[in-house]
Structure 1
């Protein structure tokens, strides 16, 4: 009698699927589980016999098997989170004679330990990416708007209106003005009111970066371009500013060889990283600023004429503080309020004497200097006190703090007593030596000691 168990096609298929798939599930035309692998059951922590016939959404977390049955569209290599872990899922509809009769899904995982490692690695990458995005957004976002430009003078109001007009265009802007007049605030405000406001605002000070690093900072570099270069290279400021604005402060300090490269970027709208021959397209608006006279620099050949005209499409001259009538009072009150919020003491204002000195000063450092002067004065006042002339720097106030002047006779008396005491102590009371040391006679010495009650 032959007692051998015959293999059925169904048994063979079950074994093949179990061996070749990390986990699988089959659902019928309404999403009920028709078949599920032992591996998948073990991972899910379920008993196969108890879930067969149940709707797949009631058994498997975040499943889309029933959706695939409804849409008839396969979903391949999709990440699926189950029990707080990620895996890769493939979901394919089963079609017979043009009719969807179910779907089969497979998941890829080697073992639970590896799955947990993969999950933790993904979470770590997500955290790093979010942290990087946060820092990038913070570094490349605007801080000021037109409302932060304080002043009621006609000259500053006209300047603001011109800047607001510039914000409505996509042309390059050149901000001209002395140091401390607020060129960066205008650059922030123009970007924030433009159609690029949702894009990055990238700042770079052309005078603060060493010349040998300026090119790689602006245009980026490829791996191995120079000693110390990052393994994967680095994007330059122009690439980071794509679809946004780049603010080139102190443009007058840019070396001539870099001016040539910047001109090409403006003309071709593309950058080439250091160490690369590949051109990368960039869509960037340029706002440049300088406290130098670029026209004179063009004449003496220290600034390229063609670059000057490329940048000088919308030119805005920001007035110095000394010509902004009435704005010193407004700005002083503004800074007083802002600084006061940082200090743990109150200030009752600025006296008329101190304000008159502020108004008379010529302010070579402009708004930045005024802010520093107000902060210094705030540090010197007592709680509740007003800022007065004596709290201002002497070059502004002309204030000289005199010491108490006493009568000459009183000063000479104290000086003589001190000299006698030091001489007697030095000579251990020997009157002859004291008289000789002080170059006076013994009679004069006794007369002085008697006058000051020093005889014993």
Structure 2
């Protein structure tokens, strides 16, 4: 038997384990308890004096510590039903000269919800550092993560923080914003940061599916329902999304008859395929998006008020590009880098007037329009020079005089131009540029980062 003093005494073990986990137990090679932390004792409502020397099976329900000392195999992140809840535990055998002398078990999460919170926290941290990968092989073919929402304006930062807060759980989210602002990026980011991230993400464009086909597309049908029906029937989008997320894009364009059926799905959490005798239970999170004024449609009797309140548990507003003009230079540089790589061109010079004109254009098509413009510019650029002549005629002729720059904008434009010209002159030697401009090295690095002047 492994004695309590053979490795550590209880006082030292308490110092190590009381704050390191939610509960620690050590057994000898016979499965008898040699140590149990005070927080573990409190969790199972027993005193340490009562458990030392006792067979672990008689003290801890559903334990596997006695099996670990027999098999010598670690059990990491295992679910164990304890005190009316599932805890997450690690069990690791202790070896001395290739001989099992005992095992140590720790409770790392007291319930599954704690693990979910930690998982969400880790995903948020990964999103902050742009480390969440876009795995196109997952069930929902999710392509976007939060870092695809380019910009650091206050409004966009606020949107990102809200996405992180609402990602967990099952609350319905209504994303509102003009066309081309990135509503699908937000929907996929919520799914990716949720506990449903390994389940399907299914998108339905409510405006693009003909009304007569929408019901079968959403809810599916049984075999033999109509002439030409697929053998064995067909699952609808809601069944495919079961366990995951369904994204109802352009929900403001959904026909009224389908609005009634969708309301029932949301209320009852069940669907009824066409031709089915009985409804089928589903577990789906709803994320909807629209650029339509739903409140006005309700007044006109074109959108159900009760459905509006069902999908509108939480609203998330995406600002238009006009409302976050300070992000336009970042977006320009991002799209130039993206399409330069695709086309195989290297942009060595971007005319400063390009930034000026694009920053003050009104962008009715938002980010989607800006991306299309930059893609065309990259194709039209000659000798790696992107000039105003590459811009579409309708943007070149756009009057910017009715949108005068603020003093801050003028100063930033001038500073950006001066720093960029200096960097080009010294072949992007940052220390030389700092010296030529009479500023510190740390300052030039900050300015290069601020104005995205990477070479």
TM-score range, shorter chain: 0.5 to 0.7
Which has the greater radius of gyration? 1
Tell me the alpha carbon deviations over residues 389-424 of structure 1, each in whole angstroms, 9 at most, x when there is no partner: 11001111129xxxxxxxxxxxxxxxxxxxxxxxxx
Tell me the alpha carbon deviations over residues 144-165 of structure 1, each in whole angstroms, 9 at most, x when there is no partner: 1111111010011111111211
Secondary structure of 1:326 counterpart: helix
Aligned equivalent of 2:201: 201
Aligned equivalent of 2:302: 302
Secondary structure of 2:271 counterpart: strand
Aligned equivalent of 1:374: 374
Aligned equivalent of 2:395: 396
The reply on whether 1:257 has 2:257 as its aligned counterpart is yes
- Structure 2 length normalisation: TM-score? 0.57
Aligned equivalent of 1:341: 341
* Equivalent-residue separation in structure 2 for 1:222 and 1:250 (angstroms): 27
The reply on whether 1:170 has 2:147 as its aligned counterpart is no
Aligned equivalent of 2:160: 160
* Equivalent-residue separation in structure 1 for 2:336 and 2:347 (angstroms): 8
Aligned equivalent of 1:219: 219
Aligned equivalent of 1:358: 358
How far has the Cα of 1:217 moved from its partner?
Answer: 0.4
Does the CA-based 8 Å contact 2:204-2:247 persist in structure 1?
Answer: yes
Does the CA-based 8 Å contact 1:172-1:287 persist in structure 2?
Answer: yes
Tell me the alpha carbon deviations over residues 269-299 of structure 1, each in whole angstroms, 9 at most, x when there is no partner: 0101011122111000000000001111111
Tell me the alpha carbon deviations over residues 246-282 of structure 1, each in whole angstroms, 9 at most, x when there is no partner: 0000000100000000000001001010111221110
* Equivalent-residue separation in structure 1 for 2:366 and 2:159 (angstroms): 16
How far has the Cα of 1:349 moved from its partner?
Answer: 4.2
Tell me the alpha carbon deviations over residues 61-111 of structure 1, each in whole angstroms, 9 at most, x when there is no partner: xxxxxxxxxxxxxxxxxxxxxxxxxxxxxxxxxxxxxxxxxxxxxxxxxxx
Matched pairs, number = 264
How far has the Cα of 1:226 moved from its partner?
Answer: 2.2
Does the CA-based 8 Å contact 1:321-1:367 persist in structure 2?
Answer: yes
Q: Structure 1's 278 and 287: CA in aligned 2 closer, same or farther, altered over 3 A?
A: same
* Equivalent-residue separation in structure 2 for 1:361 and 1:325 (angstroms): 9
* Equivalent-residue separation in structure 2 for 1:137 and 1:346 (angstroms): 31
Q: Which runs of 5+ in 2 are unaligned?
A: 1-135, 399-455
Tell me the alpha carbon deviations over residues 121-163 of structure 1, each in whole angstroms, 9 at most, x when there is no partner: xxxxxxxxxxxxxxx9657231111111110100111111112
Does the CA-based 8 Å contact 2:176-2:315 persist in structure 1?
Answer: yes
* Equivalent-residue separation in structure 2 for 1:386 and 1:159 (angstroms): 35
* Equivalent-residue separation in structure 2 for 1:226 and 1:160 (angstroms): 46
Tell me the alpha carbon deviations over residues 12-66 of structure 1, each in whole angstroms, 9 at most, x when there is no partner: xxxxxxxxxxxxxxxxxxxxxxxxxxxxxxxxxxxxxxxxxxxxxxxxxxxxxxx
- Structure 1 length normalisation: TM-score? 0.56
Does the CA-based 8 Å contact 2:139-2:200 persist in structure 1?
Answer: no
Does the CA-based 8 Å contact 1:354-1:397 persist in structure 2?
Answer: no
Secondary structure of 2:301 counterpart: coil
Does the CA-based 8 Å contact 2:138-2:198 persist in structure 1?
Answer: no
Secondary structure of 1:325 counterpart: helix
Aligned equivalent of 2:187: 187
* Equivalent-residue separation in structure 1 for 2:342 and 2:328 (angstroms): 21
Aligned equivalent of 1:267: 267
Does the CA-based 8 Å contact 1:250-1:289 persist in structure 2?
Answer: yes
Does the CA-based 8 Å contact 1:174-1:312 persist in structure 2?
Answer: yes
How far has the Cα of 1:220 moved from its partner?
Answer: 0.4
* Equivalent-residue separation in structure 1 for 2:137 and 2:336 (angstroms): 30
Does the CA-based 8 Å contact 1:137-1:200 persist in structure 2?
Answer: no
* Equivalent-residue separation in structure 2 for 1:137 and 1:223 (angstroms): 30
* Equivalent-residue separation in structure 2 for 1:155 and 1:354 (angstroms): 24
User: Where do 1:392-431 residues align within 5 Å?
Assistant: 392-398=391-397
Does the CA-based 8 Å contact 1:288-1:311 persist in structure 2?
Answer: yes
* Equivalent-residue separation in structure 1 for 2:349 and 2:190 (angstroms): 33
* Equivalent-residue separation in structure 1 for 2:338 and 2:384 (angstroms): 17
How far has the Cα of 1:336 moved from its partner?
Answer: 0.8
